[in-house]
A = this chain, B = another copy of it.
């Protein structure tokens, strides 16, 4: 569970409502059925038009993707790859199969399997690069649902408010109720802008940030796989992999003595 996604939503929404209540507003005044229908119905409609059914089905997946914590640990992965490199050099490529038996890292297992099967180095590199590229394209193409919703929601809010004003101004029978009616019309703008900026766009940002981490981890493993196939020694492998680390991780890993043997 990525606590920051939930925490951010709570902090954001509590701040908005708290500010409103402290000013003396009543929460009930913020809830209005017609604005909900216009803003959320309109946004959902616009998003559905623009998204193939195949991608729409993946919306629950992408929401989960934004909420679940990425387990990306470059340091552990580097240790694991160096271990695999050592095993491969000491006991031969076939020993790698056993070493990954318990792992649930399908990307790494498939790569190792291709190496064991004796695939051509360039071909393996091509396949791995394409997997990474297609993974990125796929996640982004689903995440576009959030981006689209974040773009359409404020305009649906404006549509709702203008519709409200059209209705109100069209029948100025009761000038007394003009103020409260306009207040109600503004609720739609509020829904549109708030849903876009508290939900859709931040979730889109989170998906992109998590995807970046995931892709970086896949590139790290791809580098390791290639090095194992070429049979490079683990000092060289370590130098290559450590270029992926930030300064802090770099120091932590340099202090440890991870390379047991060569």
What's the Cα separation between A158 and B154 when bound, in Å?
Answer: 12
Q: Summarize A's interface: helix, strand, loop or mixed.
A: helix
Q: Does A44 have its Cβ within 8 Å of any Cβ on chain B?
A: yes
- A45 contact set on B, CB distance < 8 A: 8-15, 198, 202
3 closest residue pairs by CB, A with B: A12-B45, A15-B41, A50-B205
- State whether B183 touches A166 (Cβ < 8 A): yes
Hey, what's the 0/1 contact readout for A166-202 against B, CB within 8 Å counting as 1? Answer: 1111111000000110111011011001101110011
Q: By the criterion of a CB under 8 Å from any partner CB, how many residues of chain A are at the interface?
A: 111
| A63-93 with Cβ < 8 A to chain B | 70
| A116-135 with Cβ < 8 A to chain B | 119, 123, 126-128, 130-131, 134
What's the Cα separation between A37 and B21 when bound, in Å?
Answer: 11
- State whether A24 touches B179 (Cβ < 8 A): no
- State whether B53 touches A41 (Cβ < 8 A): no
